A = this chain, B = another copy of it.
Amino acid sequence: MDSVRTEIAQIIDALETGKYKRVRKRLRHMHPAKIASLIETLDDALRLSVWQQVDAAHEGRILAHLTPELARQLHSESGESISTEEEAAAASEAHHASTQMREVREALALGKLKRVGKILHAMHPAKVAGLLESLPPKERVDAWSMVETDRAGKVLSYLHDESCASLAMEMDPEDLVIAVRRLDLDDLVDLIQALPEEVGRQVLQATDERHREKLVSMLSYPEDSAGGLMNTDHISVRPDVKVQTVLGYLRLLKTLPVQTDKLMVADRKGVYQGALRLSTLVTVQPERRVADIMDTEIPAIPVDMPDDEVARLFQDLDLLSAPVVDAQNNLIGRITVDDVVDQIRESSERAMMNMAGLDQEADIFAPVLTSSRRRAVWLGINLVTAFLAAWVIGLFQTTLERVVALAVLMPIVASMGGIAGSQTLTLVIRGMALGQVAGGNARALLSKEMGIAALNGVVWAVVVAGLAVAWFGDWQIGGVIGAAILINLLFAALAGLIVPLVLDRMGIDPALAGGVILTTVTDVIGFFAFLGLATVVL
Protein backbone atom coordinates (compact mmCIF):
# COMPACT_ATOMS: atom_id res chain seq x y z
CA MET A 1 0.00 0.00 0.00
CA ASP A 2 2.91 2.24 0.79
CA SER A 3 4.49 1.79 -2.60
CA VAL A 4 1.14 2.61 -4.24
CA ARG A 5 0.94 5.77 -2.21
CA THR A 6 4.46 6.73 -3.21
CA GLU A 7 3.66 6.00 -6.82
CA ILE A 8 0.52 8.13 -6.66
CA ALA A 9 2.41 10.91 -4.94
CA GLN A 10 5.07 10.81 -7.67
CA ILE A 11 2.47 10.88 -10.42
CA ILE A 12 0.64 13.78 -8.83
CA ASP A 13 3.93 15.56 -8.44
CA ALA A 14 4.80 14.98 -12.09
CA LEU A 15 1.31 16.12 -13.15
CA GLU A 16 1.57 19.32 -11.17
CA THR A 17 4.98 20.21 -12.62
CA GLY A 18 3.79 19.39 -16.14
CA LYS A 19 6.13 16.42 -16.59
CA TYR A 20 3.51 14.60 -18.65
CA LYS A 21 5.99 12.34 -20.33
CA ARG A 22 7.02 10.97 -17.00
CA VAL A 23 3.36 10.43 -16.13
CA ARG A 24 2.76 8.52 -19.35
CA LYS A 25 5.82 6.40 -18.79
CA ARG A 26 4.68 5.42 -15.30
CA LEU A 27 1.12 4.73 -16.42
CA ARG A 28 2.36 2.46 -19.15
CA HIS A 29 3.85 0.13 -16.54
CA MET A 30 0.82 0.13 -14.20
CA HIS A 31 -2.00 -2.39 -14.17
CA PRO A 32 -5.33 -1.00 -15.48
CA ALA A 33 -7.01 -1.71 -12.13
CA LYS A 34 -4.31 0.22 -10.34
CA ILE A 35 -4.74 3.17 -12.70
CA ALA A 36 -8.49 3.00 -12.11
CA SER A 37 -8.02 3.19 -8.36
CA LEU A 38 -5.56 6.04 -8.82
CA ILE A 39 -8.11 7.92 -10.90
CA GLU A 40 -10.77 7.38 -8.27
CA THR A 41 -8.65 8.88 -5.52
CA LEU A 42 -7.94 12.07 -7.45
CA ASP A 43 -9.97 15.25 -7.56
CA ASP A 44 -11.74 16.22 -10.79
CA ALA A 45 -8.99 18.38 -12.30
CA LEU A 46 -6.15 15.94 -11.71
CA ARG A 47 -8.37 13.05 -12.77
CA LEU A 48 -8.85 14.57 -16.20
CA SER A 49 -5.15 15.36 -16.40
CA VAL A 50 -4.26 11.72 -15.76
CA TRP A 51 -6.91 10.54 -18.22
CA GLN A 52 -5.31 12.69 -20.92
CA GLN A 53 -2.10 10.75 -20.44
CA VAL A 54 -3.63 7.31 -20.71
CA ASP A 55 -2.77 5.42 -23.86
CA ALA A 56 -5.88 5.29 -26.10
CA ALA A 57 -5.48 1.52 -26.49
CA HIS A 58 -5.72 0.96 -22.74
CA GLU A 59 -8.69 3.20 -22.06
CA GLY A 60 -11.27 0.43 -22.36
CA ARG A 61 -9.55 -1.82 -19.84
CA ILE A 62 -9.27 0.98 -17.33
CA LEU A 63 -12.87 2.06 -17.78
CA ALA A 64 -13.94 -1.49 -16.92
CA HIS A 65 -12.48 -1.06 -13.44
CA LEU A 66 -14.17 2.25 -12.72
CA THR A 67 -17.60 3.03 -11.25
CA PRO A 68 -20.15 3.30 -14.09
CA GLU A 69 -20.68 7.02 -13.50
CA LEU A 70 -17.00 7.87 -13.57
CA ALA A 71 -16.51 5.59 -16.58
CA ARG A 72 -19.24 7.44 -18.49
CA GLN A 73 -17.77 10.78 -17.59
CA LEU A 74 -14.26 9.88 -18.71
CA HIS A 75 -15.53 8.06 -21.77
CA SER A 76 -17.41 11.16 -22.95
CA GLU A 77 -14.23 13.10 -22.30
CA SER A 78 -12.36 10.71 -24.61
CA GLY A 79 -15.10 10.84 -27.21
CA GLU A 80 -14.27 14.45 -27.61
CA SER A 81 -10.55 14.28 -27.36
CA ILE A 82 -9.81 11.14 -29.33
CA SER A 83 -10.03 12.33 -32.84
CA THR A 84 -12.12 10.38 -35.26
CA GLU A 85 -10.73 9.67 -38.67
CA GLU A 86 -12.26 12.76 -40.16
CA GLU A 87 -10.67 14.89 -37.50
CA ALA A 88 -7.27 13.37 -38.09
CA ALA A 89 -7.71 13.99 -41.79
CA ALA A 90 -8.62 17.60 -41.09
CA ALA A 91 -5.56 17.98 -38.90
CA SER A 92 -3.28 16.50 -41.51
CA GLU A 93 -4.47 18.89 -44.16
CA ALA A 94 -2.32 21.89 -44.85
CA HIS A 95 -3.95 24.05 -42.24
CA HIS A 96 -2.96 27.63 -41.95
CA ALA A 97 -0.38 27.95 -39.19
CA SER A 98 -2.46 30.36 -37.16
CA THR A 99 -5.48 28.03 -37.24
CA GLN A 100 -3.38 25.15 -35.98
CA MET A 101 -1.96 27.32 -33.29
CA ARG A 102 -5.38 28.46 -32.19
CA GLU A 103 -6.56 24.86 -32.02
CA VAL A 104 -3.53 23.86 -30.00
CA ARG A 105 -3.97 26.75 -27.61
CA GLU A 106 -7.65 25.97 -27.13
CA ALA A 107 -6.91 22.34 -26.49
CA LEU A 108 -4.13 23.32 -24.06
CA ALA A 109 -6.44 25.70 -22.23
CA LEU A 110 -8.99 22.90 -21.83
CA GLY A 111 -6.28 20.45 -20.76
CA LYS A 112 -7.03 18.26 -23.79
CA LEU A 113 -3.45 17.17 -24.24
CA LYS A 114 -4.37 14.13 -26.33
CA ARG A 115 -5.90 16.39 -28.91
CA VAL A 116 -2.73 18.48 -28.85
CA GLY A 117 -0.73 15.33 -29.45
CA LYS A 118 -2.92 14.43 -32.43
CA ILE A 119 -2.55 17.84 -34.02
CA LEU A 120 1.21 17.90 -33.48
CA HIS A 121 1.53 14.37 -34.80
CA ALA A 122 -0.03 15.43 -38.09
CA MET A 123 2.38 18.34 -38.52
CA HIS A 124 5.86 18.45 -40.04
CA PRO A 125 8.60 18.78 -37.37
CA ALA A 126 9.54 22.20 -38.76
CA LYS A 127 5.96 23.37 -38.29
CA VAL A 128 5.85 21.88 -34.80
CA ALA A 129 9.00 23.84 -33.96
CA GLY A 130 7.44 27.06 -35.26
CA LEU A 131 4.30 26.41 -33.29
CA LEU A 132 6.19 25.66 -30.08
CA GLU A 133 8.12 28.91 -30.40
CA SER A 134 4.88 30.82 -30.77
CA LEU A 135 3.57 29.51 -27.43
CA PRO A 136 4.21 31.19 -24.08
CA PRO A 137 6.47 29.18 -21.73
CA LYS A 138 3.88 27.24 -19.72
CA GLU A 139 1.83 26.17 -22.73
CA ARG A 140 4.98 25.45 -24.69
CA VAL A 141 6.15 22.92 -22.10
CA ASP A 142 2.73 21.25 -22.06
CA ALA A 143 2.64 20.97 -25.84
CA TRP A 144 6.25 19.77 -25.88
CA SER A 145 5.36 16.92 -23.55
CA MET A 146 2.98 15.63 -26.24
CA VAL A 147 5.62 15.40 -28.97
CA GLU A 148 6.62 11.75 -29.44
CA THR A 149 10.16 11.09 -28.26
CA ASP A 150 11.31 9.77 -31.61
CA ARG A 151 10.13 12.94 -33.36
CA ALA A 152 11.43 15.26 -30.65
CA GLY A 153 14.99 15.23 -31.98
CA LYS A 154 13.92 16.44 -35.40
CA VAL A 155 11.78 19.17 -33.82
CA LEU A 156 14.70 20.30 -31.67
CA SER A 157 16.86 20.67 -34.76
CA TYR A 158 14.41 23.24 -36.18
CA LEU A 159 14.28 25.40 -33.02
CA HIS A 160 16.35 28.50 -32.35
CA ASP A 161 19.20 27.91 -29.93
CA GLU A 162 17.57 29.35 -26.83
CA SER A 163 14.21 27.61 -27.06
CA CYS A 164 16.00 24.44 -28.18
CA ALA A 165 18.14 24.39 -25.06
CA SER A 166 15.24 25.07 -22.72
CA LEU A 167 13.00 22.39 -24.23
CA ALA A 168 15.82 19.84 -24.34
CA MET A 169 16.32 20.48 -20.62
CA GLU A 170 12.65 19.69 -20.04
CA MET A 171 13.21 16.14 -21.22
CA ASP A 172 14.57 13.36 -19.09
CA PRO A 173 18.22 12.89 -20.11
CA GLU A 174 17.63 9.33 -21.30
CA ASP A 175 14.68 10.47 -23.45
CA LEU A 176 16.81 13.20 -24.92
CA VAL A 177 19.44 10.68 -25.89
CA ILE A 178 16.81 8.50 -27.56
CA ALA A 179 15.27 11.49 -29.29
CA VAL A 180 18.47 12.64 -30.96
CA ARG A 181 19.71 9.18 -31.88
CA ARG A 182 18.38 9.30 -35.41
CA LEU A 183 19.38 12.84 -36.28
CA ASP A 184 21.76 13.58 -39.12
CA LEU A 185 25.21 14.20 -37.73
CA ASP A 186 25.23 17.84 -38.80
CA ASP A 187 21.93 18.51 -37.05
CA LEU A 188 23.24 16.71 -34.00
CA VAL A 189 26.33 18.90 -33.99
CA ASP A 190 24.18 22.04 -34.08
CA LEU A 191 22.03 20.67 -31.29
CA ILE A 192 24.98 19.83 -29.05
CA GLN A 193 26.33 23.32 -29.62
CA ALA A 194 22.99 24.84 -28.59
CA LEU A 195 22.74 22.79 -25.38
CA PRO A 196 24.36 23.73 -22.08
CA GLU A 197 27.83 22.20 -21.96
CA GLU A 198 27.04 19.55 -19.38
CA VAL A 199 23.98 18.25 -21.23
CA GLY A 200 25.76 18.44 -24.55
CA ARG A 201 28.51 16.23 -23.18
CA GLN A 202 25.95 13.69 -21.95
CA VAL A 203 24.38 13.51 -25.39
CA LEU A 204 27.79 13.12 -26.95
CA GLN A 205 28.76 10.33 -24.54
CA ALA A 206 25.55 8.48 -25.27
CA THR A 207 26.09 8.23 -29.03
CA ASP A 208 27.67 5.05 -30.25
CA GLU A 209 31.41 4.97 -30.63
CA ARG A 210 31.59 5.02 -34.40
CA HIS A 211 29.54 8.21 -34.57
CA ARG A 212 31.13 9.81 -31.55
CA GLU A 213 34.50 10.03 -33.20
CA LYS A 214 33.01 11.78 -36.24
CA LEU A 215 30.96 14.06 -33.98
CA VAL A 216 33.98 15.12 -31.99
CA SER A 217 35.86 16.02 -35.13
CA MET A 218 32.84 17.91 -36.52
CA LEU A 219 32.43 19.76 -33.23
CA SER A 220 35.99 20.96 -33.55
CA TYR A 221 35.15 23.17 -36.55
CA PRO A 222 33.82 26.68 -35.92
CA GLU A 223 30.03 26.89 -36.35
CA ASP A 224 30.41 29.61 -38.97
CA SER A 225 32.78 27.68 -41.24
CA ALA A 226 32.35 25.07 -43.94
CA GLY A 227 33.18 22.50 -41.27
CA GLY A 228 30.18 23.65 -39.28
CA LEU A 229 27.87 23.13 -42.26
CA MET A 230 29.42 19.83 -43.25
CA ASN A 231 27.95 16.37 -42.98
CA THR A 232 29.90 13.14 -43.30
CA ASP A 233 27.25 11.02 -44.96
CA HIS A 234 28.64 11.28 -48.49
CA ILE A 235 29.12 8.23 -50.63
CA SER A 236 32.47 8.05 -52.32
CA VAL A 237 33.63 5.88 -55.21
CA ARG A 238 37.00 5.24 -56.87
CA PRO A 239 37.84 6.91 -60.17
CA ASP A 240 39.00 3.68 -61.82
CA VAL A 241 35.81 1.65 -61.53
CA LYS A 242 33.10 1.26 -64.14
CA VAL A 243 29.58 2.68 -64.02
CA GLN A 244 28.04 -0.78 -63.76
CA THR A 245 30.16 -1.47 -60.68
CA VAL A 246 28.97 1.77 -59.12
CA LEU A 247 25.34 0.92 -59.91
CA GLY A 248 25.79 -2.52 -58.40
CA TYR A 249 27.29 -1.00 -55.28
CA LEU A 250 24.42 1.48 -54.94
CA ARG A 251 21.84 -1.28 -55.30
CA LEU A 252 23.58 -3.07 -52.44
CA LEU A 253 23.27 0.03 -50.30
CA LYS A 254 19.52 -0.02 -51.01
CA THR A 255 19.07 3.66 -50.00
CA LEU A 256 21.23 6.73 -50.37
CA PRO A 257 21.53 9.48 -47.76
CA VAL A 258 18.93 12.23 -48.22
CA GLN A 259 19.98 15.10 -50.45
CA THR A 260 22.30 12.92 -52.50
CA ASP A 261 22.57 14.40 -55.98
CA LYS A 262 26.12 13.28 -56.62
CA LEU A 263 28.67 10.77 -55.46
CA MET A 264 32.13 11.92 -54.51
CA VAL A 265 35.14 10.47 -56.29
CA ALA A 266 38.29 9.97 -54.23
CA ASP A 267 41.39 7.92 -54.90
CA ARG A 268 42.76 5.10 -52.78
CA LYS A 269 44.34 7.56 -50.37
CA GLY A 270 41.14 9.55 -49.97
CA VAL A 271 42.25 12.51 -52.06
CA TYR A 272 39.32 14.25 -53.75
CA GLN A 273 39.23 13.78 -57.52
CA GLY A 274 35.83 14.97 -58.67
CA ALA A 275 32.13 14.33 -58.39
CA LEU A 276 29.85 11.97 -60.21
CA ARG A 277 26.35 13.36 -60.63
CA LEU A 278 23.50 10.89 -60.37
CA SER A 279 22.08 12.55 -63.46
CA THR A 280 25.25 11.57 -65.31
CA LEU A 281 25.24 8.10 -63.82
CA VAL A 282 21.78 7.34 -65.20
CA THR A 283 22.48 8.65 -68.68
CA VAL A 284 25.85 7.09 -69.54
CA GLN A 285 26.61 3.61 -70.80
CA PRO A 286 27.34 1.08 -68.01
CA GLU A 287 30.82 0.27 -69.33
CA ARG A 288 32.18 3.84 -68.98
CA ARG A 289 34.81 4.50 -66.32
CA VAL A 290 34.05 6.92 -63.48
CA ALA A 291 37.19 8.94 -64.15
CA ASP A 292 35.98 9.70 -67.69
CA ILE A 293 32.53 10.92 -66.76
CA MET A 294 33.08 12.60 -63.40
CA ASP A 295 32.77 16.34 -63.08
CA THR A 296 36.07 17.91 -62.07
CA GLU A 297 34.76 21.45 -62.14
CA ILE A 298 32.85 21.22 -58.90
CA PRO A 299 34.99 23.13 -56.43
CA ALA A 300 36.20 21.32 -53.36
CA ILE A 301 35.42 23.53 -50.38
CA PRO A 302 38.23 23.92 -47.83
CA VAL A 303 36.93 22.98 -44.41
CA ASP A 304 37.85 26.37 -42.98
CA MET A 305 36.02 28.49 -45.58
CA PRO A 306 33.70 31.03 -43.86
CA ASP A 307 30.05 30.03 -44.12
CA ASP A 308 28.95 33.16 -45.97
CA GLU A 309 31.51 32.42 -48.67
CA VAL A 310 30.16 28.88 -48.91
CA ALA A 311 26.65 30.31 -49.29
CA ARG A 312 27.78 32.65 -52.05
CA LEU A 313 29.52 29.81 -53.85
CA PHE A 314 26.42 27.63 -53.74
CA GLN A 315 24.38 30.54 -54.97
CA ASP A 316 26.70 31.55 -57.78
CA LEU A 317 27.25 28.02 -59.06
CA ASP A 318 23.72 26.72 -58.33
CA LEU A 319 25.15 23.80 -56.38
CA LEU A 320 23.02 21.15 -54.69
CA SER A 321 25.93 19.70 -52.77
CA ALA A 322 29.68 20.14 -52.71
CA PRO A 323 32.62 18.17 -51.34
CA VAL A 324 34.58 19.43 -48.34
CA VAL A 325 38.30 18.78 -48.15
CA ASP A 326 41.03 19.30 -45.59
CA ALA A 327 44.31 21.09 -46.20
CA GLN A 328 45.74 17.98 -47.95
CA ASN A 329 42.75 17.85 -50.31
CA ASN A 330 41.44 14.74 -48.56
CA LEU A 331 37.70 14.33 -48.91
CA ILE A 332 36.21 14.64 -45.42
CA GLY A 333 32.54 15.43 -46.00
CA ARG A 334 29.98 17.28 -48.03
CA ILE A 335 27.76 20.31 -47.66
CA THR A 336 24.19 20.11 -48.90
CA VAL A 337 22.10 23.00 -50.13
CA ASP A 338 19.42 22.63 -47.43
CA ASP A 339 21.95 23.65 -44.79
CA VAL A 340 23.10 26.50 -46.98
CA VAL A 341 19.51 27.69 -47.31
CA ASP A 342 19.23 27.70 -43.52
CA GLN A 343 22.49 29.59 -43.28
CA ILE A 344 21.27 32.24 -45.73
CA ARG A 345 17.98 32.66 -43.93
CA GLU A 346 19.71 32.84 -40.57
CA SER A 347 22.29 35.37 -41.65
CA SER A 348 19.65 37.70 -43.07
CA GLU A 349 17.62 37.26 -39.91
CA ARG A 350 20.70 38.02 -37.87
CA ALA A 351 21.36 41.22 -39.82
CA MET A 352 17.83 42.45 -39.20
CA MET A 353 17.85 41.56 -35.51
CA ASN A 354 21.32 43.01 -34.96
CA MET A 355 20.22 46.35 -36.33
CA ALA A 356 17.88 46.62 -33.37
CA GLY A 357 20.47 45.24 -30.98
CA LEU A 358 18.68 41.90 -30.63
CA ASP A 359 20.02 38.35 -30.65
CA GLN A 360 18.47 36.18 -33.33
CA GLU A 361 18.80 32.97 -31.34
CA ALA A 362 16.87 34.51 -28.47
CA ASP A 363 13.49 33.05 -27.58
CA ILE A 364 10.59 35.39 -28.36
CA PHE A 365 9.08 34.30 -25.03
CA ALA A 366 12.27 34.47 -22.99
CA PRO A 367 11.68 35.51 -19.37
CA VAL A 368 11.04 39.24 -18.94
CA LEU A 369 14.10 39.72 -16.77
CA THR A 370 16.44 38.05 -19.27
CA SER A 371 15.01 39.99 -22.20
CA SER A 372 15.12 43.26 -20.30
CA ARG A 373 18.74 42.81 -19.44
CA ARG A 374 19.65 42.04 -23.05
CA ARG A 375 17.79 44.97 -24.47
CA ALA A 376 19.07 47.32 -21.78
CA VAL A 377 22.53 47.15 -23.34
CA TRP A 378 21.30 48.76 -26.54
CA LEU A 379 19.25 51.34 -24.64
CA GLY A 380 22.32 52.19 -22.59
CA ILE A 381 24.45 52.76 -25.67
CA ASN A 382 21.70 54.91 -27.11
CA LEU A 383 21.52 56.91 -23.90
CA VAL A 384 25.15 57.88 -24.22
CA THR A 385 24.60 59.14 -27.74
CA ALA A 386 21.38 60.91 -26.73
CA PHE A 387 23.21 62.74 -23.96
CA LEU A 388 25.90 63.68 -26.45
CA ALA A 389 23.23 65.31 -28.59
CA ALA A 390 21.70 66.94 -25.51
CA TRP A 391 25.09 68.30 -24.56
CA VAL A 392 25.39 69.93 -27.99
CA ILE A 393 21.99 71.55 -27.50
CA GLY A 394 23.07 72.62 -24.01
CA LEU A 395 25.90 74.65 -25.55
CA PHE A 396 23.29 76.96 -27.06
CA GLN A 397 20.98 77.47 -24.08
CA THR A 398 21.21 81.24 -24.24
CA THR A 399 20.25 81.25 -27.91
CA LEU A 400 17.34 78.94 -27.17
CA GLU A 401 16.18 81.24 -24.39
CA ARG A 402 16.14 84.12 -26.84
CA VAL A 403 14.39 82.27 -29.68
CA VAL A 404 12.21 79.42 -28.46
CA ALA A 405 11.14 78.64 -32.04
CA LEU A 406 14.54 76.99 -32.43
CA ALA A 407 13.62 74.36 -29.87
CA VAL A 408 10.47 73.61 -31.81
CA LEU A 409 12.23 73.20 -35.13
CA MET A 410 15.48 71.53 -34.17
CA PRO A 411 14.20 67.93 -34.20
CA ILE A 412 13.29 68.38 -37.88
CA VAL A 413 16.89 69.04 -38.84
CA ALA A 414 18.17 66.02 -36.95
CA SER A 415 15.48 63.72 -38.25
CA MET A 416 15.89 64.61 -41.95
CA GLY A 417 19.63 63.99 -41.61
CA GLY A 418 18.98 60.67 -39.93
CA ILE A 419 16.72 59.44 -42.72
CA ALA A 420 19.00 60.57 -45.54
CA GLY A 421 22.03 59.07 -43.83
CA SER A 422 20.34 55.74 -43.21
CA GLN A 423 19.47 55.51 -46.90
CA THR A 424 23.12 55.84 -47.85
CA LEU A 425 24.15 53.51 -45.03
CA THR A 426 21.72 50.79 -46.11
CA LEU A 427 22.81 51.05 -49.72
CA VAL A 428 26.46 50.75 -48.76
CA ILE A 429 25.92 47.86 -46.34
CA ARG A 430 24.02 45.93 -48.97
CA GLY A 431 26.57 46.86 -51.60
CA MET A 432 29.32 45.53 -49.35
CA ALA A 433 27.44 42.28 -48.84
CA LEU A 434 26.99 41.87 -52.61
CA GLY A 435 30.56 42.91 -53.35
CA GLN A 436 29.30 45.99 -55.17
CA VAL A 437 31.24 48.27 -52.84
CA ALA A 438 34.86 47.23 -52.93
CA GLY A 439 38.23 47.91 -54.41
CA GLY A 440 38.35 51.59 -54.93
CA ASN A 441 34.92 52.50 -56.21
CA ALA A 442 34.22 54.28 -52.92
CA ARG A 443 35.23 57.56 -54.53
CA ALA A 444 32.79 57.15 -57.41
CA LEU A 445 30.09 56.22 -54.95
CA LEU A 446 30.93 59.16 -52.73
CA SER A 447 30.58 61.69 -55.52
CA LYS A 448 27.26 60.14 -56.49
CA GLU A 449 25.94 60.17 -52.93
CA MET A 450 27.13 63.73 -52.34
CA GLY A 451 25.36 64.72 -55.54
CA ILE A 452 22.12 63.20 -54.31
CA ALA A 453 22.57 64.82 -50.91
CA ALA A 454 23.20 68.22 -52.47
CA LEU A 455 20.18 67.95 -54.73
CA ASN A 456 17.82 66.66 -52.05
CA GLY A 457 19.43 69.01 -49.52
CA VAL A 458 18.59 72.07 -51.60
CA VAL A 459 15.06 70.86 -52.34
CA TRP A 460 14.20 70.07 -48.74
CA ALA A 461 16.04 73.11 -47.40
CA VAL A 462 13.74 75.31 -49.49
CA VAL A 463 10.63 73.37 -48.46
CA VAL A 464 11.44 73.37 -44.74
CA ALA A 465 12.57 77.00 -44.82
CA GLY A 466 9.29 77.94 -46.48
CA LEU A 467 7.26 76.07 -43.89
CA ALA A 468 9.28 77.56 -41.03
CA VAL A 469 8.79 81.09 -42.36
CA ALA A 470 5.07 80.44 -42.78
CA TRP A 471 4.87 79.15 -39.22
CA PHE A 472 7.00 81.66 -37.35
CA GLY A 473 6.89 84.57 -39.79
CA ASP A 474 10.65 85.02 -39.52
CA TRP A 475 12.80 85.00 -42.64
CA GLN A 476 16.02 84.54 -40.72
CA ILE A 477 14.80 81.38 -39.00
CA GLY A 478 13.85 80.06 -42.41
CA GLY A 479 17.32 80.76 -43.74
CA VAL A 480 19.01 79.17 -40.77
CA ILE A 481 16.99 75.95 -40.85
CA GLY A 482 17.39 75.66 -44.63
CA ALA A 483 21.15 75.98 -44.40
CA ALA A 484 21.28 73.55 -41.48
CA ILE A 485 19.31 70.93 -43.40
CA LEU A 486 21.57 71.20 -46.42
CA ILE A 487 24.67 70.88 -44.22
CA ASN A 488 23.24 67.95 -42.31
CA LEU A 489 22.23 66.04 -45.45
CA LEU A 490 25.72 66.42 -46.88
CA PHE A 491 27.34 65.17 -43.69
CA ALA A 492 24.75 62.38 -43.50
CA ALA A 493 25.76 61.12 -46.95
CA LEU A 494 29.42 61.32 -45.99
CA ALA A 495 28.84 59.45 -42.74
CA GLY A 496 26.54 56.92 -44.42
CA LEU A 497 29.41 55.98 -46.71
CA ILE A 498 32.41 56.27 -44.40
CA VAL A 499 30.99 54.72 -41.22
CA PRO A 500 30.33 51.24 -42.68
CA LEU A 501 33.64 51.22 -44.57
CA VAL A 502 35.58 52.10 -41.43
CA LEU A 503 33.64 49.64 -39.28
CA ASP A 504 34.25 46.89 -41.82
CA ARG A 505 37.96 47.63 -41.85
CA MET A 506 37.94 47.44 -38.05
CA GLY A 507 36.30 44.04 -38.25
CA ILE A 508 32.99 45.26 -36.78
CA ASP A 509 29.73 44.28 -38.50
CA PRO A 510 28.43 47.56 -39.99
CA ALA A 511 24.83 46.31 -39.71
CA LEU A 512 25.31 46.01 -35.96
CA ALA A 513 26.80 49.36 -35.04
CA GLY A 514 26.31 51.47 -38.17
CA GLY A 515 22.86 52.81 -37.40
CA VAL A 516 23.67 54.06 -33.90
CA ILE A 517 26.87 55.79 -34.97
CA LEU A 518 25.17 57.33 -37.98
CA THR A 519 22.26 58.85 -36.06
CA THR A 520 24.69 60.14 -33.45
CA VAL A 521 26.54 61.94 -36.22
CA THR A 522 23.40 63.34 -37.82
CA ASP A 523 21.97 64.42 -34.44
CA VAL A 524 25.15 66.15 -33.34
CA ILE A 525 25.81 67.80 -36.71
CA GLY A 526 22.15 68.71 -37.09
CA PHE A 527 21.81 70.39 -33.73
CA PHE A 528 25.21 72.02 -33.96
CA ALA A 529 24.65 73.42 -37.45
CA PHE A 530 21.17 74.67 -36.70
CA LEU A 531 21.75 76.20 -33.27
CA GLY A 532 25.25 77.38 -34.17
CA LEU A 533 24.05 79.20 -37.26
CA ALA A 534 21.16 80.63 -35.27
CA THR A 535 23.56 81.96 -32.62
CA VAL A 536 25.58 83.72 -35.30
CA VAL A 537 22.70 85.01 -37.39
CA LEU A 538 19.83 85.77 -35.00
Contacts and interface: CB of A to CB of B under 8 A. Distances in A.
Contacts of A407: 393, 397, 400, 404, 406-407, 410
A46 interface: no
B259 A320 contact: yes
Given A341-B337, A382-B419, A368 B133 contact: no
Contact of A438 (B98, B250, B344, B372): B98
Nearest to A132: B436
Q: Which interface residue of A99, A250, A408, A527 has the most chain B CB atoms within 10 A? A: A408
Contact of A261 (B124, B320, B441): B320
Contact of A386 (B318, B342, B412, B435): B412
Interface stretch (A33-41, A196-204, A279-287): A279-287
A83 interface: no
B423 A358 contact: yes
B278 A441 contact: no
A315 interface: yes
Contact of A456 (B353, B375, B393): B375
A400 B389 contact: no
Q: How many copies does the complex hold?
A: 2
A444 interface: yes
A124 B368 contact: no
A126 interface: yes
Contacts of A353: 426-427, 430
Contacts of A397: 404-405, 407-408
Nearest to A320: B320
A501 to B, nearest CB: 12
Contacts of A456: 372, 375-376, 379
A383 interface: yes
A455 B282 contact: no
A456 B435 CA distance: 39
A340 interface: yes
Contacts of A389: 411-412, 415
A435 B130 contact: yes
A495 to B, nearest CB: 14
Given A376-B459, A439-B102, A254 B283 contact: yes
A517 interface: no
A414 B412 contact: no
Nearest to A413: B386
A247 B356 CA distance: 55
Interface in A344-363: 344-345, 348-349, 351-353, 355-358, 360
B431 A364 contact: yes
Interface stretch (A16-24, A57-65, A211-219, A445-453): A445-453
A411 B393 contact: yes
Given A124-B317, A365-B448, A440-B105, A382 B435 contact: no
A423 B356 contact: yes
A127 interface: yes
Interface residues on A, range: 35 or more
A512 to B, nearest CB: 13
B341 A314 contact: yes
B341 A383 contact: no
A408 B394 contact: yes
Interface in A458-506: 459-460, 463-464, 467, 471
Contacts of A341: 314-315, 337, 340-341, 344
Interface of A: 97-102, 105, 124, 126-127, 130-131, 133-136, 247, 250-251, 253-256, 258-261, 278-285, 314-318, 320, 337-338, 340-342, 344-345, 348-349, 351-353, 355-358, 360, 364-365, 368-369, 371-372, 375-376, 378-379, 382-383, 385-387, 389-390, 393-394, 397, 400-401, 404-412, 414-416, 419-420, 422-423, 425-427, 429-431, 434-441, 444-445, 448, 451-452, 455-456, 459-460, 463-464, 467, 471, 523, 527
Given A136-B444, A136-B448, 16 more contacts: A101-B440, A136-B441, A256-B283, A315-B342, A320-B320, A320-B337, A344-B348, A352-B429, A356-B422, A358-B426, A379-B456, A379-B460, A386-B411, A389-B412, A394-B471, A411-B414
30 contacts: A97-B439, A98-B440, A100-B439, A134-B436, A254-B283, A258-B318, A261-B261, A278-B281, A315-B342, A348-B348, A349-B430, A352-B352, A352-B430, A356-B427, A364-B445, A365-B445, A372-B459, A379-B419, A379-B460, A386-B411, A386-B415, A389-B412, A389-B415, A393-B408, A394-B408, A400-B407, A400-B408, A401-B404, A404-B407, A407-B407
Which 4 pairs of residues, A with B, have the shortest CB-CB distance? A348-B348, A98-B439, A407-B407, A126-B316
